[in-house]
Structure 1
Amino acid sequence: MNPIKSTLCIAALLIGAQAFSQEIEDKKGIVAKNAQLVKVQDGFEFTEGPAVNRFGDVYFTDQPNNRIHKWNAISNEVSVFKEDAGRSNGMYFMLDGTLVTCADNKNELWAFDTDGNPEVWITAFKGKKLNGPNDLWIRPKGGIYFTDPLYARPYWEGRGEESEQDGQNVYFLSADRTELFKVADDLVKPNGIVGTPDSKYLFVSDIGAKKTYKYEVREDGYLINKTLFCEMGSDGMAIDDRGNVYLTGDGVTVFNRNGEQIAHIPVPAKWTANVVFGALDRKTLFITAMDAVYTLQMKTRGVW
């Protein structure tokens, strides 16, 4: 469908949705003119892990209820994609339509085909349980980066609250899935993660230290030249075509490529967990926040 037609369809469907006219701080004109935050649907327990497929549809999790939902970018309807989803948290789509998820139920990495059939990709690191894969980014050149903080879950069975690993780390899984190795081991509690479309840089939020760092990405997957990007941590993260980085927690806070804050989008929720650009033109900011999901029309375009 034509991207302009797609955007008009979405706008028409949102007329009956609940809009919020809270003032948006926008120093660089990244939000569409007269755009308002719109609640798409509520009634969830805790939404997380939004991931966009090639058609612009956004899949997100309701982790306590162990479901993955799908937001249709054309109809604006939300449906259940998968029950018994491994308590999936962060998610990301591969180009072939495979949905890779951080399956928190047993601290694994899963992959779902387009019919929702799961396959377990990672169960441990060096024979020991991971803390709980939380968020991930798939490098366009191949390979998966994921964060592994420790958030003890009440549904874990057969293990306590202590980590089997030597810390809370960031890992890289090679494209052929034959190598899994640690790429960052000096963070307090790594959480949100996103990379640039040219595969040159990776941003990792250390939510425990309330900081976000920028790394250079080597061809072999290892990270070098860690630098402080901004003095703010984040749950989930996104990046747009201008190189702006979107951090979550208290609404959505946007930093330019130099780490300077340029926008803040208030959201009527105690916590915003994650964010992604959806719709066919990638100009719909899709936000997961506690028991609801929201959208906001943007001038900037997401990269995927």
Structure 2
Amino acid sequence: MDGFELTQPRFKEYVLPNAPLEKLAEGFGWAEGPVFFGDRNELLFSDLPNNRVMRWTDAGGLSVYRASSDFENGHARDRQGRLLSCSHRGRRIHRTELDGSITSLVERYQGRRLNSPNDIVCKSDGTIWFSDPPYGIQTDYEGGKQESELPAALYRFDPRDGSLRVVADDFQGPNGLCFSPDERKLYVVETGLQFATDPLQNIRVFDVAEDGRLSGGNVFCTIAPGNADGIRCDEQGNLWSSAGDGVHCIDPAGELVGKILVPSPVANLAFGGRNNSRLFLCASHALYAIYTNVRGARLL
């Protein structure tokens, strides 16, 4: 099958040979943080080094959603349909209200500034989970050099009472994250120290208790070539991960099922489109999409 690599025969059930990879747009500094708005039939994603958020639709193509975005990276949508964003330069999580105004949600933990929130997901109970590595404040390319005040960590924020707590802090560089379809597991990407010769890089999996506490945290799998960054689950519980050669599909046991091959390294991805079965790929300087025969997991 051209454009695919089958590790297990059942990968044929997940992909469509007559639906090839499409390049939708290009010319970005580094594309990241895709999120699909089904009610508006549009994809938003970050052009991180160029400090802007882009919009793409089938009908209108590419446009700028927000210029001077405070170097936003990861995005998600909350239970009320509002955009949640990770700001590198602002070192915060903020929310775009339905009227377009912006509300800062989280900037500090125990009085100290966050590093540079990277990726974000909203659980069905309304809690907001995000990773906070120092990547965005270590270079001028993705936000601007600043001093780190906190160790890298994974956080859970509850907008109902304003509580913020560290749910895991044994990371060198926590990055992409997503819940399993039943939200009983949380997958978190470890991308390690940014300038290390041999950084620690893998995907870990945690068990999620009803009160939001995590346990476990064992290595789920390791992505090669390249490394994992953004991740998403489908309805069947398979994990789809960015990689140096495209997108890898990993089953719930941590075994590679197959690959979608992409000309450039993929940084992040999101399901969307008709029936939530179109996979949008932020691949270096370009945006791609491909129709699959699986549907992305929806929140409960």
Q: In the alignment, does 2:124 pair up with 1:140?
A: yes
> Residue 33 of structure 2 corresponds to which residue in structure 1?
49
Contact 1:59 1:71 in 2 (8 A): yes
Percent identical pairs in the alignment equals 31
Task: Please give the TM-score of this superposition, normalised by the length of structure 1.
Answer: 0.86
Corresponding residue to 2:53 among 51, 62, 68: 68
1:91-170 correspondence runs (5 A): 91-151=75-135, 152-154=138-140, 159-160=146-147, 163-165=148-150, 167-170=151-154
> Residue 213 of structure 2 corresponds to which residue in structure 1?
222
Corresponding residue to 1:174 among 155, 158, 166: 158
Looking at structure 2, the residues matched to 22 and 124 of structure 1 have their Cα atoms a distance apart, in angstroms, of 48
- Cα distance change of structure 1 residues 158 and 191 upon mapping to structure 2, 3 Å threshold: closer
- How large is the RMSD of aligned CA atoms in angstroms? 1.8
> Residue 257 of structure 2 corresponds to which residue in structure 1?
262
Pick which of 294-303 and 90-99 moved more: 90-99
Three-state SS of the structure 2 residue aligned to 1:281 is helix
Q: 1:96 is aligned with what amino acid?
A: Q
Pick which of 115-124 and 185-194 moved more: 115-124
- Cα distance change of structure 1 residues 157 and 252 upon mapping to structure 2, 3 Å threshold: closer
Gapped regions of structure 1 (runs ≥ 5): 1-20
* Displacement of 1:133: 0.4
Contact 1:103 1:109 in 2 (8 A): yes
> Residue 281 of structure 2 corresponds to which residue in structure 1?
287
Contact 1:40 1:76 in 2 (8 A): no
> Residue 202 of structure 2 corresponds to which residue in structure 1?
211
Contact 1:44 1:292 in 2 (8 A): yes
Q: 1:63 is aligned with what amino acid?
A: L
1:79-98 correspondence runs (5 A): 79-98=63-82
Q: 1:298 is aligned with what amino acid?
A: T
Looking at structure 2, the residues matched to 176 and 127 of structure 1 have their Cα atoms a distance apart, in angstroms, of 20
Contact 1:214 1:228 in 2 (8 A): yes
Q: 1:253 is aligned with what amino acid?
A: H
* Displacement of 1:259: 0.5
* Displacement of 1:113: 2.3
Three-state SS of the structure 1 residue aligned to 2:287 is strand
* Displacement of 1:36: 1.1
* Displacement of 1:33: 3.1
Looking at structure 2, the residues matched to 157 and 262 of structure 1 have their Cα atoms a distance apart, in angstroms, of 39
Give a deviation string over 1:33-80, Cα, whole Å, max 9, x none.
Answer: 3221110010111110001123342210111121111222x4261222
Three-state SS of the structure 2 residue aligned to 1:102 is strand
Three-state SS of the structure 1 residue aligned to 2:49 is helix
Task: Please give the TM-score of this superposition, normalised by the length of structure 2.
Answer: 0.87
* Displacement of 1:267: 1.2
- Cα distance change of structure 1 residues 70 and 177 upon mapping to structure 2, 3 Å threshold: farther
Give a deviation string over 1:141-197, Cα, whole Å, max 9, x none.
Answer: 22011111111131756833xx211x2110100141511010111112111100023
